[in-house]
Chains A and B, each alone.
Chain A
């Protein structure tokens, strides 16, 4: 069930749009902010609130990269694998990250701390290679820098 807070936040945003349905991606984002990911139950809850079927909601949810339909760790690492980062040998840095966390792209560490997701260009190509941890950008990555960054999150 959606919490009162989630419901409130979703309803507050509805005023912007002439139709309730326009709120689907926004509603999913709000629920995800509170729960980390979108479970089947959350899909049904959002469906009920929007007056739509769960299938309709899921088709929309699954078409967006940043709606997570599987649980994620406490911190999400978006690792850029696009061209400018790749030129700057992001592969080597990513291999280090994966080894260090023992979790590959799409996986979550055993302690539930990190989920590593490959990402499209993060729009910071002049600092390549880059990654984002939650809402923080980290650029000019090296294996040593990765080690220091990972210490900072619990």
Chain B
């Protein structure tokens, strides 16, 4: 089994230096790109590879790049590539692994991607608390400049690129790509209206592409080995490998790079070693805190962007959170809702007012103060905060675990109301 993304990663040790990265084949894809491929050819290869964005939404990466106006349509002046390294989705720890473990892979992926859209400047928008990743990325960027992979006339080609590590001042909404752009412009992190899309008018009003860290890390391998090879890594129609992860009461919580489309069951039972003795699996969020619960009957579903939606959820970030039989599902959902209510940027009313309201109701139920009609009020809110009803995707994501918990764990909500307390606390 091939593991292109993590082949160089040695947990708990220093990441590969520039020399070691080069020895493993690093920067060869970049050399091929800047010496012989036109930007449109790079985009075409990435399109053919079926690479889909790993930040959560699964948008086709090559297609996104193709929306950037090029050639005679291109406005004059700078254009930007931004790596979304703001990883803050509860339960998600994959981009940290990639940045700490092999920083040059991200840097090379960004240079190639920037070339494809002819960006002049690239930013790594890094989460505030990722100090180790910051140190390692800054070193990798400095090494890349020294070796002539960044700066003027990269590898003696006509292409030039500046790259900076920008450390965020910390807020979940900064991960939303248009809020991220506002934050990079020094403003409050509030999402922007679309259109215009960032590819046309993004950072400082210039064409901009925002791609997730894991997405960008795939790019050097696609360019080095081709689209057909990339597709062959996967078990399904969407190419590549995927960083999967599991947290919760399993025997071996952790991350694994596996073929795209590995089943939920294989990830939980084989790679994570199954549930710990004494704990049963009741459900799981497949890809971070803003995805709908899956339960036992869904375990044989392949983890990819098309299969998981067929069973009512989303792959999201691909890092699962397990709900075990000794953990109260109502309190689990309450923990998530408190987070989302706190992180609401406050720009639009349904989210600013709705999420704290929902959190208060769930808290009341959890503490034994719930009323029978509360469940229908919660259901109404799930509809009121559905996609399209709010300014950005934070609020719809926030109610996904709630709406599915009301479906799969309804009797737990009802017991809290009837017994006027949490059965788990009493136990």
Binds A, one of B137-145, B165-173, B382-390: B165-173
Residue of A nearest to B170 (CB): A66
Q: Which residues of B contact A83 (CB under 8 A)?
A: 90-91, 289, 321, 332, 335-336, 339
A57-98 near B? 1/0 per residue, CB < 8 Å: 001100111110000000000100111101110000000000
Q: Which residues of A contact B89 (CB under 8 A)?
A: 121
- Cβ contacts A to B, 14 pairs, < 8 Å: A19-B185, A25-B169, A29-B167, A60-B187, A82-B289, A83-B332, A84-B90, A84-B248, A87-B249, A120-B343, A121-B88, A123-B88, A123-B95, A125-B253
Q: Are A125 and B93 in contact (CB under 8 A)?
A: yes
A142 at the interface (CB under 8 A from B): no
Give the distance in Å from the alpha carbon of A148 to the alpha carbon of B424 in the complex.
31
Q: Are A123 and B96 in contact (CB under 8 A)?
A: yes
Interface-central residue, A81, A83, A122, by most chain B CB under 10 Å: A83
- Nearest chain B CB to A137 CB, angstrom units: 8
Binds A, one of B125-133, B150-158, B413-421: B125-133
B263 at the interface (CB under 8 A from A): no
Q: Are A19 and B186 in contact (CB under 8 A)?
A: yes
Q: Are A87 and B248 in contact (CB under 8 A)?
A: yes
Give the distance in Å from the alpha carbon of A152 to the alpha carbon of B289 in the complex.
34
Q: Which residues of B contact A137 (CB under 8 A)?
A: 132
Q: Count of A-B contacts with CB under 8 A? A: 135
Which of the residues A64, A78, A126 comes within 8 Å of B254, measured between beta carbons?
Answer: A126
Taking residues whose C-beta sits less than 8 angstroms from the other chain, chain B's interface range is 35 or more
- Nearest chain A CB to B352 CB, angstrom units: 13
A149 at the interface (CB under 8 A from B): no
Q: Are A121 and B169 in contact (CB under 8 A)?
A: no
Q: Are B186 and A25 in contact (CB under 8 A)?
A: yes
B229 at the interface (CB under 8 A from A): no
Residues 15-71 (chain A) with a chain B CB within 8 angstroms: 16-19, 21-26, 28-29, 59-60, 63-67
Q: Which residues of A contact B404 (CB under 8 A)?
A: none
Q: Which residues of A contact B186 (CB under 8 A)?
A: 17, 19, 21-26, 60
Q: Which residues of A contact B91 (CB under 8 A)?
A: 82-84, 121, 125
B188 at the interface (CB under 8 A from A): yes
Residues 100-154 (chain A) with a chain B CB within 8 angstroms: 119-128, 132, 135, 137
Give the distance in Å from the alpha carbon of A77 to the alpha carbon of B311 in the complex.
40
Q: Are A126 and B245 in contact (CB under 8 A)?
A: yes
Q: Are B339 and A66 in contact (CB under 8 A)?
A: no
Interface-central residue, B127, B188, B255, B322, by most chain A CB under 10 Å: B188
Known A19-B186, A87-B323; further 12 A-B contacts with Cβ < 8 A: A19-B185, A21-B187, A67-B170, A82-B335, A83-B332, A87-B327, A120-B90, A121-B92, A123-B92, A123-B93, A123-B129, A125-B93
Residue of B nearest to A67 (CB): B169
